[in-house]
Amino acid sequence: MSIVTEHSLACDLLVAGGGMAGVCCALAAARLGTQVILVQDRAVLGGNASSEIRMHIVGATGLHAGVPLSLESREGGIIEEIRLELAVRNPQRSAAVCDLILYELCRAEPNLTLLLNTTVVGARVEEGRIRHVVAERPSTEDRFTIAATMFADCTGDGRLGAEVAVPVMRGREGQAAFGETLAPEEGDAKTLGSTILFQAKQHDRPMPYVAPPWVRKFQPTDFALRPFGKSGSDLGLEYGYWWIEWGGCLNTVKDNEDIRDELLAITLGIWNHIKNESGLDVSHWALDWIGMVPGKRESRRFVGQHILTESDLMNSRAFPDAIAFGGWPIDLHPPEGVDAPTEAPCTQNHLRWLYDIPLRSCVAANLENLFFAGRNVSATHIAFASTRVMATCAAVGQGVGTAAALALQAGVIPAEIAGSSALLRSIQQRLLRDDAYLIGVRRADADDLAPSAVVTASSEQAGGEAALVLSAQTRAVHGPDVVACAETANQWENVLAEIATGKATALYTSAPPDRAAPGLHRWMSEPAAGLPATLELRWAAPVAASEVQLIFDTGLHRFLTLSQADGYTARMEWGRPQPETVRDYRLEAKIGGEWRVIHTEVGNYQRRRVHRWAEPLPTVAALRLVVTATNGLDHARVCEVRVYS
């Protein structure tokens, strides 16, 4: 007789995997009324961003960030909410606090059931649809049979998809397979490798280090292309190093235990070299933490309804079913990692344009009700080298969660969403409403009352007029007009040059000109007029309003992510709200000829704020936003106002 307790559960959407893609997928769906079960095989959420691995979240801001009021490419939506929450509530940059905030966000959703320490180990498929999964939690001796209408594999390694025999791509496709110039001439089974990170601290006395006998031995020549101990970057002594990479010539799933053991030998060997052989003044430095879980870059990639390719990214192909965007370079690494010291640790091929990620790359080609989001989406090795980074995965996760929720409401299975132009429009408009950005997709929400109002303000700047809160876009992505936008072979060479000279050659990735919609896309009050500053919407005939949504400026041009690297963090506004963001404000409604205060907010630091009333406010002739303080800027900025009855 088994001691395992059997449980039967049911939900609308089963999300397997609690990394950034899975968390954003589950939150997006749950917030739209979907009953979600999120199954995560670790004790914490966040995947590679969790306290177990501690990689910082990067995305379309790339290596050089953007330009104020010109190029604001940081991802919006749920991942922006998370970043802003971390920046304010985690000034100490604790990795464990990041775990806790992700847990808190999931626990706050009444439609979301979270199963930690639980692994999907099997599934049943009937007539082309997954009927249920089997998940096990050994720590409590429980087994769950979870039935759902739809499923999303956000596991990174693609455990659920593999269990149900979704076709898989593994390794590097040859040039001829998809006509990719960056691919190797002949395909192989090699992948990007994995990394174990460490943290170190400087103390007030000498801290000797005696290495275990099994660590790797290194020579100075091994680090000619792999710098360490450099300030102003993520290559300092306190946190390192992404280039400690190995295992790409093995199976990163089946050989993960061996990869971990060798990475520990490599990482501690590098620390031994730094401490005892490098000649750097590091006598007072000591290890404070080292990961025991490899940060994995690549394993399985699924075959979906569309396979994203190098050409799709390089040409910024417009997809009618776009649910997210990317912009990180096509970031290729030698599979041998540190075993190839004469090769650059990466070749970061610059992308001139932000690019679409279509829903079809997130829907299984052979099953009717399976999505995927994260690094396992349907992409070639070359395209994946850009889509794999966590902020992009998070944006895809929100797109998939939104698509699942609206498809469930419409009674459409995942395999048929791409064939419904009306449903696709609804998904995209919902994503825009939730502050996601989609290249060239403009706000067109028939339920929104704001566009029918006349907008005025107490003051405004040229180019930042009040009416721009209805511009149908909430950020500037046209980019700077500089020659530096041209492509280069390898952005890593620019990083090395910056370390050597202190001067950066910025390479920007903006929206393609035909879909950029140039402009500031926000109201900006006149600094000389001071605060309070007032924005007013007035209707020709009174309306009933039950919800007001505001999108504030949060400095989407700059880096913002929890990082254990001091130099990288110094480039951010960390430990405080973003200075552009409106802090204190009130909403007033003109009802029956009189202005009434309907909401007062103090201490805001979020970009998207939604204020709802249980009963619609009747006969609202006008609505007024009164900004009384920002988090540092000398004027008010508002990117968008929406009003719903």
**DSSP codes joined into one string, 473-520:** --S--S----GGGS--S-HHHHHHHHHHHS-------B--GGG---S-
Within 13 Å and on the Cβ side, how many CA atoms surround 39? 30
Query: Domain residues of the chain, as ranges?
Result: 5-172+298-433, 194-296, 450-477+519-644, 483-507
CB atoms within 10 A of CB 318: 16
Mean pLDDT of 317-335: 98
From the centroid of its chain, how far is CA 278?
36
Q: What are the phi and psi torsion angles at 597 (to 5°)?
A: -75, 120
pLDDT at 232: 72
pLDDT mean across residues, the chain: 96
From the centroid of its chain, how far is CA 108?
20
Alpha-helix runs per DSSP H in 489-619: 491-501, 566-569
Confidence of residue 87 (pLDDT cuts 50, 70, 90): very high
Mean pLDDT of 555-567: 97
489 has a pLDDT exceeding 80: no
Is 365:500 a contact under the CB 8 Å cutoff?
Answer: no
Report the SS3 class of residue 22.
helix
Report the SS3 class of residue 81.
helix
488 has a pLDDT exceeding 60: no
484 has a pLDDT exceeding 50: no
Domains 5-172+298-433 and 450-477+519-644 share a fold: no
Is 287:197 a contact under the CB 8 Å cutoff?
Answer: no
Structure confidence by residue, pLDDT tens digits, 608-621: 999 999 999 999 99
pLDDT at 499: 80
Beta-bridge partners for 70: none
Q: Which CATH architecture has domain 5-172+298-433?
A: 3-Layer(bba) Sandwich (3.50)
Nearest to 459 by CA among 522, 538, 524: 524
Mean pLDDT of 621-638: 98
Structure confidence by residue, pLDDT tens digits, 291-306: 999 999 999 999 999 9
CATH superfamily of 450-477+519-644: Galactose-binding domain-like (2.60.120.260)
Tokens (6 digits) for 390 = 């966590």
Structure confidence by residue, pLDDT tens digits, 414-461: 999 999 999 999 999 999 999 999 999 999 999 999 999 999 999 999
CB atoms within 10 A of CB 483: 6
Q: Is the dihedral of CA 484, 393, 333, 45 positive or negative?
A: positive
483 has a pLDDT exceeding 50: no
Within 13 Å and on the Cβ side, how many CA atoms surround 278? 18
486 has a pLDDT exceeding 60: no
Residue 25 amino acid letter: C
Is 305:360 a contact under the CB 8 Å cutoff?
Answer: yes
pLDDT at 230: 87
Report the SS3 class of residue 384.
helix
Mean pLDDT of 336-340: 98
How long a stretch of residues is the chain? Answer: 645
CA dist list (Å): 145 to 30, 57, 134, 149, 486:
20, 33, 5, 14, 53
Beta-bridge partners for 113: 37
Cα–Cα distance measured from residue 205 to residue 250, given in angstroms and rounded to the nearest whole number? 42
517 has a pLDDT exceeding 60: yes
